Structure 1
Amino acid sequence: MKIWLMNHYATSMFEDRAGRHYWFAKELIARGYDVTVFCATTFLNNDKEIDTKGKVLTVKRRDGIPFVFVKTVVSVGNGMDRVKNMGMFYWNLFPAAKAYAKKYGKPDIILASSVHPLTMIAGIQIAKKMKIPCICEIRDLWPEGIFSHGRITEKSFLGMALTKGEHWIYKRADALIFTKEGDTDYLKEKRWTLEQGGDIPLSKCYYINNGVDVKAFEERRKKDILNDPDLSEEKFNVTYAGTIRPTNHVGNLLDTAKLILKKTGYEDVQILIFGDGIELPMLKERVERENIWNVRLKGFLERKFIPYILSCSSVNILNYAQDKYNWTRGNSSNKLFEYMASGKPVISTVHMGYSIINRYGCGVELDEDTPEALAEQIMRFHDMDQEQYSQIGMNAKTGAKDFDFVNLTDKLIKVIESVK
């Protein structure tokens, strides 16, 4: 069976040899499926791009997986360039799909993945022309995310148009995959389900969260070692790895560090912040100006070092602002599953619906995203007896196995079988 996976932003997966559709493709190919990944020539918020030599597409292979790079324009930030980037990817998917099918044969199924909806719209339209099923994968409820940030209101003309387009996708997809367990609650809130008199049957909705390749994680942990004195075992390392932007509320970690500095007996606690983003310069200035010496801003990190770094941590932090997103439907953060695979406790600064952390007993979720609440929990883990601490870490590692891509691919195959 030939399957095309369409994800605008899978370009970084080609480079990293990691990520949802890389791992799905690898697992499916190992089981005898013929899988191709379609993605953009550009990288998100980066001026790098894959050279197509003036053509609409170019094909490269990574670990036996064909990646079709569809020509787009470079975009950095969230301005008009990004809109052009999304539009051009949508527009060029059609000739790219036609050219690739002419050379290698048409697929049996298309799986079109968000974040933005144009990829799913293209997937549905291309599948219709080819008379094959299309599975749409919703990794972010869009446009709800835009509404929650206040950029556009749901009642505005544009908001209503976007919501209508979203409904069009859900209705016409042959199956829907949601990455958060509670995302189908959204369909019920909209009263779009067949059971409520709408036109979207819940029977075609599936839940497959993000996850981790446990075997690859362990291999990288042992192989890709980062020589960094801050990863010393003599320190109680509290680690955040991810983007530094308002949604992730990373400034909260600096305020937390200042509170811990005032407490006697916690001089060995240090907060390590790995990642880049628009707020990094501001945080650097704060650390220097306020002399927050128990914070280390490490900047951009190659993905291959993440398993080693997280495994050197004492506690890993999922740091979010509670008011920047609707957390009631669950969590599909990639780093949650990497945190769990490291075998270390997880602290989340938000209380999630359908809580994975609570279900597996692998950490704690805060009712308030305040520095006081976070500092209290860091110190609690610092003072915890070794047996209890080790059990929480073991729970994390055990839980990660349920989100291994071997198991997630089993779930994906069931979705594929349902639309054949």
Structure 2
Amino acid sequence: MNIVIIDHYATRAYKGRGGRQYYFAKELSKKGHNVKVVCANVDHHSDYIVNTYKKIIRTLKDDNDNDWIFVNTLKYKAIQSKRRWFNVLDFYFKLFFSYKKIIPKDTDIIIASSGPLSTLHVGLHIARKMKIPCICEVRDLWPLSIVEYSRLTNRNLIIKALYKLEKWCYKKASAIVFTIEGGKQYIIDKGWDSDINFEKIYYINNGVCLETFNKNKEKYVFSDKDLDDPSLFKIVYTGTISKVNKIRELVKLAEQLKDEKVRVVIFGEGSEEEKLKKDCILKKLKNIEFKGRVEKKYIPSILSKADLNIIIIDDKPNLYKYGISMNKLFEYLAAAKPIVLTNPVKDFNFVEERGCGINVYPFTINNIVKAINQIYSLDKHGKEKYFLNSSQQAKAFDFKKHAEKLHNILKMVKNNYEK
């Protein structure tokens, strides 16, 4: 099959040679499919821009010989910038009105991936025009996420309109693939279960390519004085340093940790980095280190040298009660180390359910300290249980398995469409 994946924010996957669409393209190609990824030329998280030389698109090949079609869109820097929304609209309208210049004529099926609902809508629009099926991949619950992270409420006219658009997209999709386990429950809670066929709803979470992860762990060993110190108990975070990711809470955690042998080690960059580093200097904290951004290939080595990996999630039960799907979580599992997670709900929480770590709720710094001390004080046998459980769970989220599931969905959708 000739498959086109439309994902506004897949630019980073191309840049980093990893991530959901990169691995899906790689694995589906191995199964004989011809896969092309369509995304914006501007990376959402950095200053990386693919130069389209003022043309509407530029096509580049990745290291697996798959085509990536970059749509020329409005440039912006800060993630929260108002220009971001103009970028979303720019991407949408160029696809909507100029899809013949962007989407190959021989495309058999489209996968439209959100983020923005606009991507689902334009994918369905193009598929209808081309008389082919469209699968809607839901990686973020819009507009629920907007409501949870803004001052807008469900009574807002824009939000009401977005909910209607969301329901319309789900009804029109040939299949829906949620990255959260509770996708069906979400549909039920919205009262849409009588209008949307549950037989076309599937679950494929984010994941990790274990083959790449293990190769990089051995090939790209990261040397660091803290990580390589056997006398230290290392609590490691990797990812963006932003308000959303609650890194300030890690600074508060460092303030509360009394044992000088326990150290918080942070890898990444972001808008909050310099401010938090200054706070640590003012507070004279010696048990927390900001290591800065590292190349993706070193992440497996870094995580594998940790004694514990940590994720602090916002206290937003309305959003997280349907499941968890943050990308770093699956790398944490692959590292086979205990995880401390602050998920505000227990539903669809595989970290706790499968014994991969400790879920801390209610969220307080004291409760996180207790969880850390609990893992810190474990004997070798106790820690090995976490290692084994995390390893087993990582296998369940390997992109090879995910791609096999997606392959079967694609075949079924194509066959049903042709009947």
Indicate whether the TM-score tops 0.5.
yes
From 359, 368, 386, the counterpart of 1:374: 368
Please state how far the C-alpha of 1:176 moved relative to its aligned partner: 0.5
Please state how far the C-alpha of 1:277 moved relative to its aligned partner: 2.3
After superposition, what is the alpha-carbon deviation per residue over 1:254-307, rounded to whole angstroms, capped at 9, x for unaligned?
22222212xxxx321100111222222221121111111100012222222111
Residues of 2 paired with 1:4 and 1:110: CA distance? 5
Aligned pairs for 1:220-369 within 5 A:
220-232=216-228, 233-261=230-258, 266-323=259-316, 326-350=319-343, 351-369=345-363
Higher deviation after alignment, 165-174 or 107-116? 165-174
Higher deviation after alignment, 33-42 or 343-352? 343-352
- Segments of structure 1 that go 5 or more residues without pairing to the other structure are none
Aligned pairs for 1:7-406 within 5 A:
7-62=7-62, 63-77=64-78, 78-94=80-96, 97-101=99-103, 105-194=105-194, 199-232=195-228, 233-261=230-258, 266-323=259-316, 326-350=319-343, 351-406=345-400
Preserved CA contact (<8 Å) 1:46 1:75: no
Amino acid at match of 1:85: N
Ranges of 4+ aligned residues in structure 1 off by more than 3 Å: 94-97
Report the 3-state secondary structure (helix = DSSP H, G, I; strand = E; otherwise coil) of the residue aligned with 2:75: coil
Residues of 2 paired with 1:366 and 1:294: CA distance? 21
Indicate the residue corresponding to 2:417 in structure 1.
none
Preserved CA contact (<8 Å) 2:95 2:102: no
Preserved CA contact (<8 Å) 1:57 1:96: no
Please state how far the C-alpha of 1:219 moved relative to its aligned partner: 0.6
Report the 3-state secondary structure (helix = DSSP H, G, I; strand = E; otherwise coil) of the residue aligned with 2:387: helix
Report the 3-state secondary structure (helix = DSSP H, G, I; strand = E; otherwise coil) of the residue aligned with 1:326: helix
Residues of 2 paired with 1:79 and 1:250: CA distance? 20
Please state how far the C-alpha of 1:96 moved relative to its aligned partner: 5.6
Please state how far the C-alpha of 1:139 moved relative to its aligned partner: 0.3
How many pairs are equivalent? 410
After superposition, what is the alpha-carbon deviation per residue over 1:296-321, rounded to whole angstroms, capped at 9, x for unaligned?
01222222211110001000001123
- Segments of structure 2 that go 5 or more residues without pairing to the other structure are 415-419
Residues of 2 paired with 1:109 and 1:320: CA distance? 35
Report the 3-state secondary structure (helix = DSSP H, G, I; strand = E; otherwise coil) of the residue aligned with 2:37: strand
Residues of 2 paired with 1:276 and 1:3: CA distance? 34
Please state how far the C-alpha of 1:419 moved relative to its aligned partner: 1.3
Please state how far the C-alpha of 1:324 moved relative to its aligned partner: 7.6
TM-score (norm 1): 0.94
Report the 3-state secondary structure (helix = DSSP H, G, I; strand = E; otherwise coil) of the residue aligned with 2:321: helix
Residues of 1 paired with 2:187 and 2:291: CA distance? 41
Residues of 2 paired with 1:280 and 1:183: CA distance? 34
Residues of 1 paired with 2:212 and 2:48: CA distance? 26
TM-score (norm 2): 0.94
Report the 3-state secondary structure (helix = DSSP H, G, I; strand = E; otherwise coil) of the residue aligned with 1:229: coil
Residues of 2 paired with 1:116 and 1:277: CA distance? 22
Residues of 1 paired with 2:45 and 2:382: CA distance? 42
Identical amino acids, percent of aligned pairs: 36
Residues of 1 paired with 2:10 and 2:335: CA distance? 24
Please state how far the C-alpha of 1:120 moved relative to its aligned partner: 1.1
Residues of 1 paired with 2:158 and 2:132: CA distance? 31
Residues of 2 paired with 1:157 and 1:321: CA distance? 26
Please state how far the C-alpha of 1:91 moved relative to its aligned partner: 1.6
Report the 3-state secondary structure (helix = DSSP H, G, I; strand = E; otherwise coil) of the residue aligned with 2:383: helix
